[in-house]
Amino acid sequence: MTPRDIVLEQIRHHETDRVPYTLAFEGEVAARLDRHYGGPAWRERIVPYITWCPGVVRPPNVTIDGAHYRDAFGTIWQTDKEAPVVTEPGLQRPSFEGYAFPAPEAFLSDVAKRDAREHLARTPGSFTILFQPVCLWEAWYLRGFEETLTDCIAHEDFYAELLDRMTALTLAFVAASADIPADAIMMGDDWGVQRGVLMGADRWRRFYKPRYARIFKAIHDQGKLAVMHCCGSIAEIMGDVVEIGLDVLESVQPEAEGMNPYALKRAWGDKITFWGCLGSQSTIPFSSPSALVHEIRRLRSEMSRNGGFILAPAKPLRPETPLENAIALVEEFLAK
């Protein structure tokens, strides 16, 4: 079986001799591992079970100065922080009056589609994913984070229209990907925080559930699988995401409330595939190497029972990861 076959079998809820995995590192951790192994050749041992290929892309950002740019939505970002931050939302008021919402055509790139096909041709043995660059929760990029949380309570009609426009944009991305023969389309909406769904389960069901049902159906109509990256706890809406057709949930942070992977497996493991589950806030940085290896082996054994599992750290290995833990993780991942 190829790596792609193994991933597909797991998603079809069939057990496999090998459990597929993905392994990502932040740059500082990767550099330490390169020094430990005497160079980057060790990375060639990583089995490419899953590869990401470019799909449609955002229009070019407009540089303002060395630390700021304006994106296609008119939002100004500051880039000289650890991560880019919004300094001026593109949509200042809860109204579209006088605001030119970008047209889907502005985001569709024939060059990106060509690059995606070339990537697919280079990786025939891997499970391939197109990552869509704009998702519904990213509406906060237009309004700012606090303003968005206010909008979904105080300006419900406006927020619903904003999500309708973001949905149309996402569906245009999906439609543009119809002739790219990837296995899946992946989105990244961080609905959860450590204690639950950020806007609350009821509002998520009102605003997000019907729109994502349309998006997942459009993906399935192409014969592709729907994959969602989501941080934090979404335990209270797991039944909803299963109902609307999500095939794979990625990240599965075990430290978040209700996201114990073994409990999720018992409750939903025959209906959805869990990808991740190895704690990046707990096990990876703070356990001993032997305890880390024990947890990896337990995840492999229990989470892959009857299929439905892809092993991965919940987040790329972060700088606080001790070198000995990073080495133990790499060796255990690559041993099988």
- Domain assignment present for residue 51? The answer is yes
Yes or no: say if 310 and 274 are a contact pair by the CB < 8 Å rule: yes
Q: Please give the Cα distance from 87 to 72 (Å, whole number).
A: 15
Structural domain count, the chain: 1
Do the Cβ atoms of 84 and 161 come closer than 8 Å?
no
Q: How far apart are CA 174 and CA 101, in angstroms?
A: 19
Asked, for residue 78, whether it belongs to a domain, the answer is no
Contacts of 53 (CB under 8 A, 6+ apart): 115, 116, 119, 120, 123, 128, 129, 130, 180, 182
Band of residue 48 on the pLDDT scale cut at 50, 70, 90? very high
Answer whether residue 303 is part of any domain.
yes
Q: How many H helices and E strands in the chain? A: 13, 13
**3-class SS string, 152-218:** HHHCHHHHHHHHHHHHHHHHHHHHHCCCCCCCEEEEECCCEECCEECCCHHHHHHHCHHHHHHHHHH
| 52 has a pLDDT exceeding 70 | yes
| For residue 336, pLDDT beyond 80 | no
The residue to which tokens 């419900």 are assigned: 156
Whether residue 86 lies inside any domain: the answer is no
Question: Of 290, 312, 292, which is closest to residue 303 (Cα–Cα)?
Answer: 312
What is the DSSP code string of 119-139? HHHH-TTSEEEEEPS--GGGG
Q: Is residue 43 domain-resident?
A: yes
Residue type, 84: P
The candidate with the shortest Cα–Cα distance to 136, out of 169, 108, 181, 105, is 169
Residue 278 tokens read as: 């190895």
Q: Is residue 255 part of a domain?
A: yes
Residue 174 domain flag? yes
Say if residue 1's pLDDT is above 80.
yes
Query: Each residue of 83-93: pLDDT tens digit?
Result: 888 999 999 99
Instruction: Say which CATH number the domain at 325 has.
Output: 3.20.20.210
CA 188 to chain centre: 4
* Residue-averaged pLDDT of the chain: 93
What is residue 3's three-state secondary structure? helix
Range 214-235 average pLDDT: 97
Confidence at 55, pLDDT banded by 50, 70, 90: low
Domain that holds residue 285: 3-58+103-334
Rg (Cα) of the chain, in Å, rounded? 20
Average pLDDT over residues 241-263: 98
Maximum pairwise Cα distance, the chain? 60
Predicted local confidence at residue 111, as pLDDT: 78
Residue 323's Cβ-side half-sphere holds a number of Cα atoms within 13 Å equal to 8
Give Cβ neighbours of residue 95 (< 8 Å, ≥ 6 apart): 158
In this structure, what token pair is assigned to residue 106? 């502005």
Q: pLDDT tens for residues 20-33?
A: 999 999 989 999 99
Predicted pLDDT at 273: 98
Q: Which residues contact 199 (CB under 8 A, 6 or more apart)?
A: 149, 152, 191, 207
Residue 95 lies in a domain: no
| pLDDT given for residue 222 in this prediction | 96
The DSSP H or E segment spanning 262 is: helix 261-268
Q: What is the pLDDT of residue 277?
A: 98
| Prediction pTM value | 0.95
d(CA 136, CA 213): 12
